[in-house]
Chains A and B, each alone.
Chain A
Amino acid sequence: MLSVNSLTKNFPLEEGSVCAVDSLSFSVDGSEVYGLLGPNGAGKTTTLRMILGLLEPDAGHASVQGRQTGLDPIGVKELLGFVSASDGVYPWLTVREMLLYFGDLYGVDPVVARDRCEELSSLMGIYDLLDRRAGGLSTGQRQRVTLVRGLIHDPPVMLLDEPTRGLDVVGVQTIFEYIGHLRDRGKAVVVCTHRLDEAERLCDRFGLLHEGSLSYEGTMMELRSATGCEHLVEMFVGLLQGGHHETT
């Protein structure tokens, strides 16, 4: 469903350049939750931005259901739902107005968008906030609104960048349940996070990013046998200390 092929991105510096993503390749099928994991600055967000067409890769390409981002950016964006790490909202609009605006941006019929907005808001526990001004929401409430925003057009592929940032335990649990629900509905989900314990519970497969390239990739079992470590945290510590590179 989602395929990333040799994506590379360098950012120019005053002197030279820095390689944010280096020949990154992975794929995610339907009904699969893929954890793109790594410490801060590993290249997770840059990868998502290249998939979305917000950044032009220096090499390689991403494609969704056979459509390449570089060749058909609008078509690819229609297939993607994106929850960014930023929980920015329009402070002077109500939550409902903001969600319907994003429905419009995604070309969702206004009547359908209204129903979907209410349905998703109920699921995320923000129904009562729909007619409240978005500027007055708490961080956790904003994060839930951001998630509903990314789901408003019911996309087949979801890209979630730090979806549980700022949420309490109940909030995290709600998000996890919904991601599980998305998996059951056949969606392909990419979750970027540096909270490895959460990822371990949530994802089916993992890609461990370090300095822009994929150090390990596979299911939890495969990663355990490849690294000899039990948990993702230990794998990462080993990775940061040893710089081991292997994909399974």
Chain B
Amino acid sequence: MKQPNQCDGEEIEGQTMKGGPGHGPKRIRRVLRVGRLYRKELRETMRDRRTVITLVLMPLLLYPILSMALNRFLLSSSGDVETGYTVCVATPSESDALLRLLSDPRSQPPSEIVESRGGEIADFRLGLSRAENAELAVEANEADVGAKITVAPNGMNVITLYAHRGDAASETARQILAERLQWFKLAEANLVLQAAVPRYRSPIDVLVQDVGTPKQSNLLATLVPLVLVLMTITGAVYPAIDLTAGERERGTLEAVMASPVSRFSVLVSKYFAVMTVAFLTAVANLFAMFTTLWASGLLALFQEEASPPIWMVLPMLALLVLFSSFFSAVLLALTSYARSFKEAQAYLIPVMLLSLGPAMVSLVPGIGLDGLMAVVPLINIVLLARDLLSGSIDLGSASIAIVSTLSYAAAALAIASKLFGGDAVMRTSSQTALSLLKRPRRRSDHPSHSSAVLLLALLVPFYFIVSNGLMQFLRNFGDVVSVEVQLGLNALGLVLTFGMLPLLATIWERCKIQTTYRLSGFNVLALLGSAFLGLGCWAIAHEAFVIADALGIGGLSETQIENAQSMIVKMQQAPVILLLLVFAVCPAVIEELCFRGYLFSAFTKQLQPWRLIVITSLLFGLFHVLTGSTLLVERFIPSTLMGLVIGWVAYRTGSVLPGMLIHLVHNGLLNLVLHYSEELSFLGEGFDDQTHLPAAWLAACLFLIFAGTLLVHFGTRLRGEDDLVSVSEQLGSNSGDPELL
């Protein structure tokens, strides 16, 4: 019984596929409700004085104090060019003698050296030691350097220079002073030499010249990511603990869990609240840091121009969103497991310390955002921030870093939703962290959406590593290994990623294979229509490629295209049946089982049909873009379009099998055309990637698509238009339906 004054709660099983009237407003109300829950979480956090301290007081106090300390450090370590160094001597006569030497032009460095130092000459101020002892004066920090002049038995003046051991400024001052005296000696010797040997000429002459534009210092780009990591974590720590472990400690968790709202919705509202506070803390810290650096003039030490780089604001904000989304999810996953505030703190302190390790990577020269680094959590975003700030960003690697980081955040959130409010934190439970890995006791028809999110998050780095490893292998051993083995490895990569991971997840969750992979029956007409669609769609995919190429959408360089073409030529040497197995049968079976099987059934309850189709198609398109370390952007549109067509058919028929047929026919046809391109040359132009298909071919393919669409539409209409949407569910539980094969 639903109460008359109640809005709609969570979806009830079996209702989501029915996209009838009123479905939209219900969903909007639910989103609005999550928005209100978020507002409550944020309000509660922002009123807490501990948040105010982290968010406002810390940035206000920390940076001025740090800048003062930095100023002092810089002054003591590098000396002050304007005021110069102080030299201490014991007697006025020593002072006069040293002053004479230093003011003599012969003690100045040669012009080449002065120019190479930017025209600056260090200034020395002389003073008398209070203890009449230069050595003691330096030891007592009265001066940067001490000088003592004595006369040797041979009449030579011996000048002893004292510096404070370990004091960088003192040692630098002594070095410069020693050099100045050496220049004097050299000039004096030169005069004598020229008088004695007038024809003497130095064998070398030195000229100093500058080239190129002034290089910006990378110090800012190196330090800011480190500050961002620290500040985002600092901002997220308290709200993450308070909104999860704190909720349990206050005794409100049980009441929240007893309400008819999914854990995930509650957690999402908490996640966005934590993310907001983390983001604001990072912004406040960054703003305070730049303002302090700018106001204290220290920014000039980091950059040539002493003004904050305005162009950096938007990318920096986007980076902060990425940092906040990642850390908030990770911290929530940890704190959701904790039973008390103290326990949560105990978990987070090591995490904060451990985060410093990867964050320090930005300080290490020579490590770039490429290869495996692009998918290593935390290191990838730190390097991304460094590259962004230094203006040397690579879009391909950046995209991989962003996608993988968002995947990790989603995975952490999925883990948090399993832990938050679960048995592991209820007071009568004695379960441990292993409860996260606990298999459900009951068998279920569909995987949970949180497991699917976790799977997707794992798929990104796993697929990246497998495809990259395969590429590396082919690059290094391509000449040694036979084509057949290479093709086998290709298929194995696909099976290991899109095949094995969903299968393991299905087995672990005790999901029924038939319903999870939607292996139920299908309609004859729909099957015929699918075959037509497969025969026609390749033309659309081809045209999309050509259009993308014409628009300049592509991630391949000329060399990469040549490599790919030579690989294709090599592959064509393999038997055609093997080519079809690897490039048509294997993708059709494995990819369809993953995208229109596992993911379709996992998100069936959460998403409306059209959203389900669009989202799985976008994922399908995105995974086709990620190939090794190269982003094949031009594959996105055709793959997504194919995903939409197959998704629609999979939804209409309620089965994964017709989609497999489309995929199989489509891939098979493309491979056959490629394999027999010479034999098909009589058909005319249009069988390479650069030119449009002949009009007659295009028309024929469009007709096939039209006919295929009609067949699928009418083939699945047997149940009545309104009821079609639930065909998939009915097929799941009733494969023996007389109207279906």
Question: Quick one: given A20-B428, A65-B1, A93-B40, are A109 and B251 in contact (CB under 8 Å)?
Answer: no
Enumerate chain A residues within 8 angstroms of B36, measured Cβ to Cβ. 101, 104, 110
Of A89, A92, A104, the residue contacting B47 (CB under 8 A) is A92
State whether A92 and B48 are in contact (beta carbons under 8 Å apart), knowing that A75-B12, A101-B37, A149-B255 are contacts in the complex: yes
Distance in angstroms from A54 CB to nearest chain B CB is 6
* CB of A56 within 8 Å of the partner chain: yes
A193 to B370, CA, bound (A): 64
A87 on the interface (CB 8 Å rule)? yes
Instruction: Name which of A152-160, A200-208, A227-235 contacts chain B.
Output: A152-160
Contacts of A93 in B (CB 8 A): 40, 43-44, 47
Known: A11-B430, A86-B251, A88-B252. A78 touches B44 (CB 8 A): no
> Which chain B residues (417-448) contact chain A, with CB distance < 8 Å?
423, 426, 428-431
The size bracket of the interface on A is 35 or more
B245 to nearest A CB, angstroms?
13
**Most B CB within 10 A of own CB, among A91, A107, A150, A155:** A107
Quick one: CB contact mask for A53-86 with B, threshold 8 Å, 1 for yes? 0111000000001000000101101111010101
Q: Which of B3-11, B134-142, B312-320, B341-349 contacts A (4 or more CB under 8 A)?
A: B3-11
Q: How far is the CB of B139 from chain A (nearest CB, A)?
A: 58
B261 within 8 A of A: yes
Residues in chain B near residue A79, CB distance under 8 A? 1
Residue A169 interfacial (CB < 8 Å)? no
A13→B44 CA distance, assembly (Å): 37
Decide yes or no: A72 and B13 within 8 Å by CB, A11-B430, A93-B43 being known contacts. yes
Shortest distance from the beta carbon of B255 to any chain A beta carbon, whole Å: 6
Q: Are B258 and A80 in contact (CB under 8 A)?
A: yes
Closest to A46 in B: B428
Q: Would B428 and A55 count as touching, CB distance under 8 A?
A: yes
Contact of B366 with A by CB under 8 A: no
Taking a contact as CB atoms under 8 Å apart, the answer to whether B254 and A54 are in contact is yes
Which chain A residues (94-115) contact chain B, with CB distance < 8 Å?
Answer: 97, 101-102, 104-110, 112
Cβ of A90 within 8 Å of any chain B Cβ, yes or no, is: yes
Chain A hits for B13, CB < 8 A: 72
In the assembled complex, the Cα of A91 lies from the Cα of B3 at a distance in Å of 30
| Chain B residue with the shortest CB-CB distance to A64 | B1
Partner of A84 from the list B9, B47, B251 (CB cut-off 8 Å) is B251
Shortest B40–chain A CB gap in Å is 5
Contact A88 B429 (CB under 8 A): no
Whether the Cβ atoms of A78 and B2 lie closer than 8 Å is yes
Chain A residues within an 8 Å CB radius of B9:
74-75, 78, 106-107
B44 close to A90 (CB less than 8 A): yes
Q: What's the tally of chain B residues with a CB closer than 8 Å to chain A? A: 40
List, in ascending order, chain B residues with CB within 8 A of A156's CB: 1, 3
Within 8 Å CB of A13, what residues of B?
Answer: 430
Assess whether A52 is in contact with B258, with CB atoms less than 8 Å apart: yes
**Contacts A65-B1, A78-B2; is A11 near B255 (CB within 8 Å)?**
no
Is B486 located at the chain interface by the 8 A CB criterion? no
Asked whether, in the complex, the Cβ of B430 is within 8 Å of the Cβ of A154, the reply is: no
Which chain A residue shows the least CB distance to B13? A72
Q: A90-B252, A92-B47, A93-B40 are in contact. Are A108 and B7 (CB under 8 A)?
A: yes
Check A86 against B12 for contact (C-beta < 8 Å): no
B260 pairs with A107, CB closer than 8 A: yes
B259, CB-defined interface residue at 8 Å:
yes
Report B-chain residues with C-beta under 8 Å of the C-beta of A183. Answer: none
Residues of A within 8 A of B430 (CB): 11-13
User: CB-CB < 8 A to A107: which residues of B?
Assistant: 6-9, 33, 260-261
Q: Which residues of B contact A92 (CB under 8 A)?
A: 43-45, 47-48
Determine the distance from Cα of A107 to Cα of B428 in the docked complex, in whole angstroms: 28
Chain A contacts with B in 139-198, Cβ cutoff 8 A: 146, 149-150, 153-156
B256 at the interface (CB under 8 A from A): yes
Contact of A78 among B40, B251, B260, B431 (CB under 8 A): B260
Task: Please report A residues at the B interface, Cβ cutoff 8 Å.
Answer: 11-13, 20, 45-46, 49, 52, 54-56, 65, 72, 74-75, 77-80, 82, 84, 86-93, 97, 101-102, 104-110, 112, 116, 146, 149-150, 153-156
Please give 12 more A-B residue pairs, beta carbons under 8 A apart, in addition to A74-B9, A78-B2, A110-B36. A54-B426, A55-B426, A65-B1, A77-B259, A78-B6, A82-B258, A90-B250, A97-B43, A107-B9, A108-B5, A153-B3, A154-B3
B residues near A (Cβ < 8 Å) are 1-3, 5-10, 12-13, 33, 36-37, 40, 43-45, 47-48, 250-262, 266, 423, 426, 428-431
- The 4 A-B residue pairs with the shortest CB-CB distance, nearest first, are A88-B251, A86-B251, A105-B259, A77-B260
